[in-house]
Structures are given as C-alpha cells and as structure tokens.
Amino acid sequence: MEKWSCLNCEMIYEPDIYFPFCRQCNSPLIVWSKKKGRRFDLSRPSCLEKFKSFLPLSRINKNLLLGEGNTPLIRLFRLEKKLEAPFPIYAKNEMANPTHSFKDRGTAVVIQKAVAGQIKKIGTVSTGNMAASTAAYGAKAGLKTFILLKEDASFEKTLSTGVYGAHLISVKGDYGGLFKQSYEIGKKIGIYFANSCDPYRLEGYKLTSFEIYFQLGQKAPEYLFVPVSSGGHLVGLLLGFLELKREGYIRQLPHFIGLQARGCSPIVEAWEKNLTDIIPVKNPQTLAHAISNPSPPAGRLVLKLLYQYGGQMIGVTDEEIMRAQAELASFEGLFCDPASATTLAGLKKWRRLNPEVKPREAVLVITGSGLKDLSPVKERGKISLIPVRLPCLEEALVSLAL
C-alpha cells in the first residue's frame, strides 16, 4: 500500500489528500516508495505513460490527458554568445504545456488519482497558473472544480481560468491563512484541494527531470536554475533526479540553483542568514506574481535539501527580471513570465559570483508564459509601433531594411 513520508524528519504516514503535511514539522509530504528496478517506456506517446513505472499510478486513464509534458529543451545559442558563456545554456520550455505552465504535469497526476479514487470535487489555491491548470483538467474529467484566487490575480489569469467553467472565488485576506483553511474546509465538505505542494503534484514534476535527462543524452545537467515559490516544484525536480540516481541512471545530481524575486524572497533570506527555517515576508512586492509566496509551505524543506545536496538560493531584483524577460524574448523567441525570467537573471548573477566556475551545461526551467500577464511588458513601454500610410510602405521598409 502507498505511504507518504516527510523528507525533513523521516516520519511515515498513511496518505490523506485532505491534509498532506507532517504532523511534527509541518513540511509537505511526498509519496514514499522503496520500489526499485523502475523502467522507462519511451515508445509511449504521453509522458505519464513513458514514466508510469516511477509514478504512484497503477494505470493511466488516457481520457484525462491533455498532452502535458514532452516539452522542448532548447539551446540558447544567441544568449550564450551575448553573455560570453563558455558552456551551453538550455531552456526547458514548460510554456509548451496545455495551459502554458509546468503546473499541468502536477495536475495531470492529481486528476488521475482523484478520478481513480472516485473524488468528485477538486480545488486549488493559486496565484494564477495552477488555477488555470486545475480548471482545465477538472473540465476534462468532468469534476466540480473550485478555484480560490488571490484578489490581485492578473486580469489575463482570471479570464484564462474562468473560461474552463470552474467556480472562481476571489479571496480577500492573508494568503497563508487561505492556504491552511482550504484544507480544513476541503476535509469538511469533500473538496480535494490539490495545492502547490500536493504529493501527487510533486510526482508530476519528477517527469521534467526525466525528460531533461533524456534530452541531454542520458545525463543530468550540471546546473539547474529553477524559480521557487512554494518550493514544491524544486522538491519535485530533485526527487526526479534522486530516483534516477537511486536506479543507477546517473551518478551526480545537478547543482540546484533556486531563484526568488528580491521583493518576496523568504527562502533566499533564510539561506543568506544560514537559517533552517523561513521567516514569512510581511509585504511582498514584485512583478513576478507567480513566485510571490510570502510563506512558502516547503520553505524549510527546500533549505534542508539544498544544504544536504549542495544547492543554493539566489535573489534577483525586478529590474534584473524585466531585463532577462526582454532578453529571452528578443534573443531566443521565448516570451516567458517574470517568474521564469528569474532563471536567466539568476544565471547572470551566479556567474558574477562564481567567475571561475565553468559548468558542463546549465538548464533554465522556464515555468510559465508571458501572455498570462502583459502588464510588465506594458510598463516597460519599449514596444514601438511605426505608423505608415500604404503609399509610403515601400519607402519605410527600405529604410528599415538597410
């Protein structure tokens, strides 16, 4: 039978989708398995089927899939040149998921579990990306879906969630309190709130690590740059590489570099002060809304894992984020959200701090699309429209083409 465990204090628990936290240290739980001899089935088209042996699923219900995963790993040749980087830099483009963010991998596993367990109502607490993802998969599975949005969720994110027909509830009040209450209310009325650190979501994020491993020619990247909000994504990616190591596919784990925006960086602050737990941020202020989490539920766990496996946290300013967002778009054709742009901003900062280190390669995990929040682009105000009358078009093009 499936068990869950706490990576922080190693307690083992019975699975309880209505309260997936350690009763001792409050860290989010993970699916615990001693199973060995897992195999890949790369002939399968869907990522859940390819890596089923690594997932806590006895079968994959194909009717619930939306084409998640299988996202491209793109080499950033032009940025390598601009940054004078003597090593390859890749982007794992998670914008290519069905609702344009990495969340779909997690939701895909959550929905498989929910339907197999006869759950009829699901929900999530989200700043936006997880809301759209949960609403889409809830629609596909025909489940009643309840989305609790932060009141400052962007206009684009609210619309792109509402379109799937879920119940959208905009909640005024403390985000940490909302997160906690969702579980209490969910248990009472039978709504499975699959929030950011849900153990099944983390199982979905492992698949990204497996894909990167194959896309790099069956090796782990030496450095992996990941935006950090709740901490669940980073933990899931690390779990993926830990399982690859345990199964003997890789010898070395990647160095994980977790990124946060300086305006809301509780894990970076704890890291810099050598603390073992985070101090919640009182007044988060950053345009990287997707990672603006003042009290990350996996904060303590992320710190422990980074100390244990040799990673690091780096904070970047909104100015650095906006520059990186523009560079990823104009040099590489990748229009990502500010949260994702922290990876490039962080890589640049990391290189300034470690000029002597020449990694074999670095992978930036691009977690979500820029289209879901256009306000930073609007604020930057550098997009110019050239007005031309039709008779003057040729003349204008000639002058531009010179």
Residues near Zn ion (CB under 5 A): 6, 8-9, 22, 24-25, 27
User: What number of other Cβ atoms are within 10 A of residue 192's Cβ?
Assistant: 22
User: What number of other Cβ atoms are within 10 A of residue 273's Cβ?
Assistant: 8
Alpha-carbon separation of residue 315 from 146, 272, 286 (angstroms): 33, 10, 12
Choose between 30 and 314: whose C-beta lies nearer to Zn ion: 30
Q: What is the spatial distance between Cα 183 and Cα 90, in angstroms, rounded to a whole number?
A: 38
CB of residue 21 vs Zn ion: minimum separation in angstroms? 8
Whose structure tokens read 């603006």?
A: 292
CB of residue 125 vs Zn ion: minimum separation in angstroms? 21
CB of residue 309 vs Zn ion: minimum separation in angstroms? 18
Locate all alpha helices (DSSP H) within 98-174, ordered by sequence: 103-116, 129-141, 155-162
Choose between 102 and 179: whose C-beta lies nearer to Zn ion: 179
Alpha-carbon separation of residue 392 from 25, 384, 385 (angstroms): 69, 18, 15
CB of residue 28 vs Zn ion: minimum separation in angstroms? 9
CB of residue 186 vs Zn ion: minimum separation in angstroms? 21
Choose between 27 and 133: whose C-beta lies nearer to Zn ion: 27
CB of residue 26 vs Zn ion: minimum separation in angstroms? 7
Q: Which residues of 25-56 are buried (b: 16+ CB within 10 A; e: fewer)?
A: eebbbbbbeeeeebebeeeeebbbbbbbebbb
Choose between 227 and 232: whose C-beta lies nearer to Zn ion: 232
Choose between 5 and 46: whose C-beta lies nearer to Zn ion: 5
Q: Which of 171, 268, 199 is CA-nearest to residue 227?
A: 268
Choose between 22 and 115: whose C-beta lies nearer to Zn ion: 22
